Amino acid sequence: MRRSRFFFCVVTLLLFAGTLLSQTHIKVRVENANARKSPDSKAAILTVLHRDETYLVTKDVPYYYGIRLDDGRTAYVAKSLCTVLAEADETESGDESGQALEELYQLPAAGNTITLPHCTPTEVPADWNVCRVEGSGGANRLANLQKNRLKIACTYTVMTFNQILKLKNLPRGVRSLATTDPKAVYLKKMESQPVVVEAYLAMAKNGGKETTNCNSKDRTDIHVETDGTDAGDPKEARDQVVVAEMTPWFIEKNSSWTLDTVKQYAAYRPGYSGTMQHPSTKVRIYGWLFFDNWHSGDGSIGTWRGTAWEIHPITRIEVWENGAWKVIE
| Separation CA 69–CA 324 (nearest Å) | 47
pLDDT confidence tier of residue 128, bands split at 50, 70 and 90: very high
The answer to whether 165 and 197 are in contact (CB under 8 A) is no
pLDDT above 70 (res 312): yes
Whether 168 has a pLDDT exceeding 70, the answer reads yes
Q: Quick check: bond before 39 cis, omega within 30?
A: no
What pLDDT digit, counting tens, does each position of 138-147 carry? 888 999 999 9
Same domain (yes/no): 69, 130: no
- Residue 57: how many CA atoms within 13 Å on its side-chain side? 24
Phi, psi of 276 (to 5 degrees): -65, 130
Residue range of the domain that includes 136: 93-327
Task: Looking at the structure, tell me whether residues 33 and 97 fall in a common domain.
Answer: no
pLDDT band at residue 209, thresholds of 50, 70 and 90? very high
- CA 183 distance to own-chain centroid: 13
Q: Specify whether 175 is located in the same domain as 213.
A: yes
Q: Which of 85, 111, 140 is the last residue of a domain?
A: 85
> Which among 85, 111, 132 is the end of a domain?
85
Q: Are residues 163 and 304 in the same domain?
A: yes
Same domain, 75 and 187: no
The pLDDT confidence band at residue 91, using thresholds 50, 70 and 90, is very low
Residues 323 and 206 in one domain: yes
pLDDT given for residue 17 in this prediction: 44
Q: Pick from 85, 119, 149: which residue ends a domain?
A: 85
Both 139 and 201 in one domain: the answer is: yes
Domain containing residue 27: CATH number: 2.30.30.40
DSSP letter for 31, please.
S
Q: In whole angstroms, what is the distance from residue 313 CA to residue 250 CA?
A: 8
Give the per-residue pLDDT at 130.
96
- Give the range among 27-41, 129-143, 245-259 with minimum mean pLDDT: 27-41
Q: Indicate whether 52 and 78 sit together in one domain.
A: yes
Residues 183, 106: Cα–Cα separation, whole Å: 9
pLDDT greater than 60 at residue 11 = no
Whether residues 21 and 162 share a domain: the answer is: no
pTM: 0.75
Shared domain for 150 and 169, answered yes or no, is: yes
List the one residue out of 136, 155, 163, 158 whose CA is nearest residue 147.
136
The span from the CA of 261 to the CA of 273, in Å, is: 20
Same domain assignment for residues 99 and 235: yes
3-class DSSP state of 149: coil
11 and 127 both lie in a single domain: no
CATH number of the domain that residue 168 is part of: 2.40.50.140
According to DSSP, residue 305 is labeled B
Q: Which of 10-19, 118-127, 158-167, 288-297 has the lowest mean pLDDT?
A: 10-19
Residue 93 scores a pLDDT above 70: no
- What is the total count of domains within the chain? 2
pLDDT-wise least confident of 39-53, 120-134, 305-319? 39-53
Q: What is the mean pLDDT of the chain?
A: 86
